[in-house]
Amino acid sequence: MIPFNELITDNLPALVVVLPLLGGLLATLVGRFAWLWSTIITGSVFLLTYTLFTAVQAGPGMRYEFGNWPYLWGIEYRIDLLNAFILLVVSGIAFIATIYAKLSVEDEIPADRHNFFYSVWLLAITGLLGITITGDAFNVYVLLEISSLTIYALIAMGKDRDPRALTASLRYLILGSVGASFILLGIGYLLMVTGTLNMADMHAQLMAMPEATQNRTILVAFAFLLVGLSLKMALFPLHTWLPKAYTYAPSAVTAMVAATATKVGVYMAFRFLFTIFGYKFTFVDMPSYHILIICAAVGIIITGLTAIRQTNAKKLLAYSSVGQIGYIVAGFALANPQGVAGSLVHIFNHAAMKGGMFMALGAVAYRVGGTNMKDLRGLGKRMPLTAGCITAGALGLIGFPMTAGFISKWYLVQGALAGGSWLLAFTILFGSLLAVIYSWKMIEAMYFREPEGKTAEATEAPYMLVLPTMALIGLSIYFGINAEFTAGTALKAAAALLPGGVQ
């Protein structure tokens, strides 16, 4: 008899990634039950990450050495509050998105390949979780490629509804591969200089080098990693792949990817900038603060203005996502406790809000067949719950008080003020104004226009679509009203990343 309890407690970090991998492989063999199988797997993964999170929250962190090789040689998983939190977010969203996927996938993907779809879906989740949990720089690259490759394929699966999914996917593939190659190159430069691949060890080696900031190899490694990561997290102006990819992907894919993929990209940036290079190198010796802040601020404004011009709701939200990445990046680039905490909180909050909104739009597409502004008209009457979710999400994007978005802005603006940058604080809030304008386009269409075409006959979406949507939106509101969990965790994680320890 195998003692499962012990198996799980001892191998918790490994299981978080291995379980979805096994699940993804077996999903091809379970035939018609692929969805059920995926739901069970993602649900268990969520439980595992939750256990992991509570364990990490209580203690100093956790490590797992694969093959029992010492961490300096082998591959190590290293979990602190930061990645435990992101893991929780990713697995939670993945679980909800998987539940949501059932009807949406039945609607949009040919039935004969559902098992492969869910297989790839679970592998994407595996990749994202793997990037988040690992403590090995090259392992990041491998899992990055797993997640990217799967996401390219998943996005391209929107081809049956709109062939532009293919071009969007290919563009993402090319830019994403260039980004990943830059990351690979950066890791290579670092490997060359430090002789190790373990992140903590790399950091130690870099710290031991007195002239690290003068070493041109390290500088170039830093620059290329920064560019590669920016591509992956879609930081303005390297975001060009994102809007179309999100717009034309299948609904469930958009919801899952929008809520997790770029977030994991940001997490990678956290790891590379804070853990490997360290606060001092990144923010004291390098001008990363200025570069990132400028990109983020300009991105917030320009993508906001672009979003206003969109006529497709999904694309509008996609542009908004780029702007939100700007917030997240601006937050951690400030490199003060409030800013970093704001960034972390916003990772969660934005995942919940945007995930929920994309799901709601997916429900619209399910009933009406499209997400053009025209299709949204009069939706407030026809699909009240869905429209309500979109509205609540929009309020979150604006940063309306009592929504999660407000909490993010609260910390981000404080971070900006602590960094002495009133201009950035103002930009962040100006971004909210742009959010008012673009999200109000949707709200006006939904509540103050008469339905026409297919919308006029639409009824509320099935509960399998609405409930997951409401769950995410509900989370975003709950954590707007009671933010102690998210903000507290984020503050603690931020303090651990910055010099000076706990506040």
Partner 1 sequence: MIQLEILDQVPPPLLALLIPTIGAFLIGLLGRWPNLREGATLLTAFTLFGVVTGIYTGIIDPGYWSAPAADFWTPTASTAPIVLVEMLPGIELSLKVEPLGMVYAMIASTLWILNSLYSIGYMRGNKEKHQTRFYICFALAIASVMGIAFSANMFSLFVFYELLSLTTYPLVAHKGTPHAVRSARTYLGLLVGTSVGLLLLGLIATWFITGDLTFKPGGVFTQVLADGTLTAPVLGLLFFLYMYGIGKAALMPIHRWLPAAMVAPTPVSALLHAVAVVKAGVFSVVKVIIYLFGTASLVSTASGEWLIYVAGASILIASCIALFQDNLKRRLAYSTVSQLSYITIAASMLSPMALMAAAMHIAAHAFGKITLFFAAGSIYTAAHKKNISELDGIGRRMPFTMGAFTIGTLSMIGVPPTAGFISKWYLVSGAWETGYDFVLVVIVCSTLLNAAYFLPIVYRAFFKPPPDDDHPHGEAPWPIVVAVCATAAGTVAMFFYPDVALELALQIQRGLP
Partner 2 sequence: MSEVLMIDSVLLLLVAATAIAVVEVRSLYAAAMLSGIYSLLMALVWVNMHSMDVAFTEAAVGGGISTILLIGTLVHTEREEKKRKTRVNWGALLVTAMTGAALIYGTLDMPRFGDPNAPIHNLRVPEMVNQTVGMTAGAKGKQPPPVGWTPRQNLELPLGHKQAYAMQRAHATNEARLKEAGEGHGGHGGQKADGHGAEHEAGHDDAHAHPAGDFNGHVPNTVTSLLAAYRGYDTMFETAVIFTAGASLILLLRRRRRPGENLPKQQSANLTDQVILRVMCKLFIPFILIFGLYVISHGEIGPGGGFQGGVILATAFILYGLIFGRPELHRVLPERLTDILAVLGVLLYSGVGVFTMLRGGKFLDYAFLNPASPGDGEPLGMTLVEWGVGITVCTVMITIFNQLAEEESK
Partner 3 sequence: MSDVLEIYNYWIYIVLMMVGFYGVMAKRNLIKQAIALGLFQTGIFLFYISMAVVDGGTAPIWMADGATKVPNPLAVPAAFDNPLPHVLMLTAIVVGVSILAVALAIIINIRRAFGTIEYDELTKIEREMEAREAREAAQ
Choice from 11, 57, 311, 482 touching partner 1 (CB under 8 A): 482
The partner in contact with residue 163, picked from partner 1, partner 2, partner 3, none with C-beta cut-offs of 5 to 8 angstroms by kind, is partner 3
Window 244-303: residues binding partner 1 (CB under 8 A): none
96 in Cβ contact with 468 (< 8 Å): yes
Choice from 50, 138, 279, 447 touching partner 1 (CB under 8 A): 447
Window 195-224: residues binding partner 3 (CB under 8 A): 197
Window 344-373: residues binding partner 3 (CB under 8 A): 372-373
Residue type, 288: S
Question: Smaller CB distance to partner 3: residue 52 or 75?
Answer: 75
CA distance 480 to 487: 10
Question: Smaller CB distance to partner 3: residue 148 or 408?
Answer: 148
140's CB contacts (< 8 A; 6+ apart) are 131, 134, 183, 187, 268, 271
Helix (H, G, I), strand (E, B) or coil at 77: strand
Residue type, 22: L
Q: Which residue has the tokens 């003020």?
A: 417
Least separation, in Å, of the C-beta of 166 and partner 2?
9
Choice from 87, 94, 97, 146 touching partner 2 (CB under 8 A): 146
Question: Smaller CB distance to partner 1: residue 97 or 435?
Answer: 435
Q: Please, what sign has the CA dihedral across residues 17, 20, 21, 23?
A: positive
Choice from 26, 55, 62, 166 touching partner 3 (CB under 8 A): 166
Window 373-432: residues binding partner 1 (CB under 8 A): 395, 398-402, 407, 409-410, 413-414, 417-418, 425-426, 429-430, 432
Does 54 sit near partner 2 (CB under 8 A)?
Answer: no
The partner in contact with residue 502, picked from partner 1, partner 2, partner 3, none with C-beta cut-offs of 5 to 8 angstroms by kind, is none
Least separation, in Å, of the C-beta of 335 and partner 1?
16
Window 15-34: residues binding partner 2 (CB under 8 A): 18, 21-22, 24-26, 28-29
For strand 62-65 and strand 76-79, is the pairing parallel, antiparallel, or unpaired?
Answer: antiparallel
Does 98 sit near partner 2 (CB under 8 A)?
Answer: no
Strand partners, 65: 76
Q: Which residue has the tokens 């190198």?
A: 281
Token pair recorded at residue 225: 């990693």
Choice from 34, 128, 157, 465 touching partner 2 (CB under 8 A): 157
Q: How many residues sit in the footprint of partner 1 (CB under 8 A)? A: 32
Site string for partner 3, 301-340 (x = CB under 8 A): ----------xx----------------------------
Question: Smaller CB distance to partner 3: residue 316 or 360?
Answer: 316
Choose the stretch contacting partner 1; rule: CB under 8 A; options: 66-74, 274-282, 322-330, 442-450: 442-450
Question: Smaller CB distance to partner 1: residue 314 or 377?
Answer: 377
Least separation, in Å, of the C-beta of 439 and partner 3?
16
Instruction: Count CB neighbours of 177 within 10 A.
Output: 16
CA distance 460 to 367: 8
CA distance 222 to 381: 53
DSSP string, 14-53: HHHHHHHHHHHHHHTTSGGGHHHHHHHHHHHHHHHHHHHH
Choice from 143, 231, 297, 465 touching partner 2 (CB under 8 A): 143
Residue 500 buriedness (CB in 10 A; 0-12 / 13-18 / 19+) = exposed
Strand partners, 198: 136
133's CB contacts (< 8 A; 6+ apart) are 13, 16, 17, 77, 79, 83, 87
Interacting residues with partner 3 (CB under 8 A): 138, 141-142, 145, 149, 152-153, 156, 159, 163-164, 166-167, 169-170, 173-174, 177-178, 181, 184-185, 188, 191-192, 197, 311-312, 372-374
